[in-house]
Amino acid sequence: MKKLSCSGRVHPFFLIIIIILVAIPMGFYGMYLYIAPSLPEMTTLKKAPLLKPLQVYSADNELIAEYGGKLSVPVDYEHIPEKFIFAFLAAEDSAFFEHSGISFKGLGRALSEAVTGSNVQTGGSTITMQVAKNYYLSPDRTLKRKLTEIFLARKIEQNLSKEEILTLYVNKIFLGKNAYGIAAAAKIYYNKSLEELTIAQMAMIAGLPKAPSRYNPVVNPERALERRNWILGRMLQLGYINQNEYQKAIAEPINLDMPDRSISNKHPYIGEMVRAELVSKFGEQAVDSGYKVYTTVDSKRQMYAEQAVQEGLEAYDRRHGWRGAEAHDKPLNEFRAYANTYPAQVSKVLNNSFEALMQDGTTVTVPWSGMSWARPYRNANSVGNAPSRAAQIVKVKDIVRLSPNENKTAWSLVQVPKVQGQLVAINPNNGAIEALVGGYNFYQSKFNRTLQGWRQPGSTIKPFVYALALERGMTPHTMVNDSPITIGKWSPRNSDGRHLGMIPLRRALYLSRNTVSVRLLQEVGIERTRQLFMDFGLQEDQIPRNYTIALGTPQVLPIQMATGYATFANGGYRIQPHFINRIEDAYGKVIYQANPEYACIACINAKEQTLESAEATTPDDEVIEVIEVTNKKLAQAEQDPKLLAERSQYKQAQRILKSSSAYDMSNILRDVIQHGTGRAALRIGRGDIGGKTGTTNDAKDAWFAGFNGKLVTVAWVGFDQPTTLGRREYGGIAALPIWTDFMGNALKGTPEAWVSLDSKAKAPQRELNQMSAEQQQDYRASPPLARPLYRPAPAAPVRAPERDFDDLPGEEVLIPDNAAPPAMQAPNNSSAKPNAAPKPAPDALENLIDEVL
């Protein structure tokens, strides 16, 4: 037998063991020294982040949109039921209160279960390690990440108590179905608070962290039940529950009660505007940070606006005929409902009706009255003969669209319009957007034509030219020359080809005489006019330097036209449009409050009087001095901070027109409805409305911009790729019905309100000399509304002229010759396209929220 050597030399095997035993801890320590500087500070762990959807509310507090599906409602440790804590300890880390953040026994057990191929129920990570992973680390499966998790877990244990760690864990852990934390899971799966959960329900939720999809009771109820029962067994084994509690919990069915959490987006154009604004300010996390945004939008007026746009575009579409089935013999589930139009597949065609299968599996019948409109489309200007039987319109297996009546008792054949439109309504006093519809349907086209659709306004721009003429001394009764005019090689014409000679300025506008508009521009000058256009809200680089601007060649956004017309409605002030009134964070703290400029002098004067009264009754030693943003020194009573806060909310808007000019222009625009191209609006039955139609060359754009003293609304209709709407599709035919439908509903039940003349404004003596006593009376501060002037909109040709009002020619159309005036820049005829990047909005519109956000 060979003797062991006693020479003192170490056997190589033992040497290797020694080296390994020394190298591992040294390597581990070296890795710690390498990773430690990058470990995060513990201060950010003290409060669990709240994950809640971004919610958008109307001005009347109706939830109109919601973004971000994640839900997390943090709870304090003392509000966590004890049995819930036991369920998590049994499922994830029964030695949590004994170890120091790392459980080598748990790691070994998990490795053993994985090697033996058993149905693994436990994990190697402790609850502390999971906190480290969930709060700080990526899901990468690398050695460095695992070591970082271990080191971070130790740091957490050294800085936080066990109760704090466990609280962080149950508030952050992902539990499936967009639930983060136990309170969110209780709400999502059982529609309960934590205190209302049974032991079985707690065990079900505690089983989710390991694999939220695999053990989810919604998608995998059998696996979820197996996991739950295993946890209940562990709770019994560890003494967390007694035998009776165990038996009762085991016998309990899953019994889910999931409330409907489908994302609400009743008014998607508004919702998307808010979402985009908050993401631009706060980043993508804004949609899950629990912000509540209170907009300026009135929910009823928004609904009226959407209905008006949809019905107006569908009416245009019907006038131009049936384009045929949307598809043939295709799967019905490939088609989406838009607005109030639902896809259906024709299953039977009878003589005067047809049957169709809806996506919900029901079969409906479309009677002849619901399809007789479907003359075949030929082109923008003509349709084919009226159909006489259903087979001329549809055939079996056609994919068509149907629309129900209000009670869903009858169905009609419809089609999704190719034409587009928009409507925007703002408060002329402070610029608050009360309704906005950017297109026929958001889910068909997300392009927001109100804020992105650059188009030519046609004759709706003429009041801006006339306003400058009024500013420079003309009056509504000034005689102007409607006769042929030539500038260089350019000879603008009137739409009817006629000339009326010398006519009052008022009449020239409501009859929309092109030659008069150009002459007025000659009189006041191109540069002065361009400057006033910019004051009204138009963008400088979109206004050509030539005489065609008098006829509507600048590129404008509908929101800019609404801003401009608000100046007439509010007595001459430039307001800034905005759509967000207030933003609250997830804890209810107001982080933004709109502070718009007001055109309403009475509002500000009333506040000043209140403050002066408060100051007069305040002892001298309680009076403090306040400097507003306008740098005006104001005295205020220190004892009433509420008045001080209210005062700071009111800022005076910039005046860009004299009160008398705005008042005169408003009355002329009221004549457009009483006697001009807007007479179809008389069916509203109000005397306090005015506005202007507009149509561009070849009827590519149809406009109506109008207002009363409280609301300004602009409607536009056209194709995204500019092409003719068709003969006779003027502003008064295509756009005015949308405006009328909306304003009729929006103003229903409200008192009539017209533009007031500032009591400080004086009419020029030479103007008074031209007026009758009745006309002079119109200049009172609160003039009576001209109720006797309005009458029902005529269905037949207009009756004979009354007084100095003419029968109307055809709707005005912008008809400049190809040759523009010499030595002038050619007009910009480009239009924004929905598929192209939109041009940058004007400075005043880049942020419809104030700079303070």
Alpha carbon distance 543, 232 (integer Å): 75
- Count the Cβ atoms, other than its own, within 10 Å of residue 443: 12
Alpha carbon distance 30, 809 (integer Å): 91
Q: 724 with 700: CB under 8 angstroms?
A: yes
Backbone angles phi, psi at 483, to 5 degrees: -140, 165
Residue 92 known to be catalytic: yes
Residue 82 known to be catalytic: no
| 531 Cβ contact list (under 8 Å, min separation 6) | none
Q: 481 with 501: CB under 8 angstroms?
A: yes
Burial category of 208 from C-beta neighbours within 10 Å (exposed 0-12, middle 13-18, buried 19 and up): buried
Backbone angles phi, psi at 88, to 5 degrees: -70, -40
What would the 3-class secondary structure string for 74-116 be?
Answer: CCCHHHCCHHHHHHHHHHHCCCCCCCCCCCHHHHHHHHHHHHH
N-terminal to C-terminal alpha carbon distance within the chain: 90
| Active-site annotation holder among 103, 459, 660, 661 | 459
| Active-site annotation holder among 66, 92, 157, 812 | 92
What would the 3-class secondary structure string for 626-670 be?
Answer: EECCCCCEEEEECCCHHHHHHHHCCEECEECCCHHHHHHHHHHHH
What single-letter amino acid sits at 70? K
| 343 Cβ contact list (under 8 Å, min separation 6) | 326, 332, 335, 336, 337, 359, 399, 400, 401
Instruction: Provide the token pair at 379.
Output: 């082109």
Alpha carbon distance 402, 311 (integer Å): 14
Alpha carbon distance 201, 738 (integer Å): 54
Strands 633-637 and 623-627: antiparallel
Sheet containing 701-707: which strands, arranged edge to edge? Answer: 433-437, 420-426, 712-718, 701-707, 690-695
Alpha carbon distance 302, 746 (integer Å): 9
Residue 455 forms beta bridges with which residues?
Answer: 556
Q: Which positions are annotated as active-site residues?
A: 92, 459
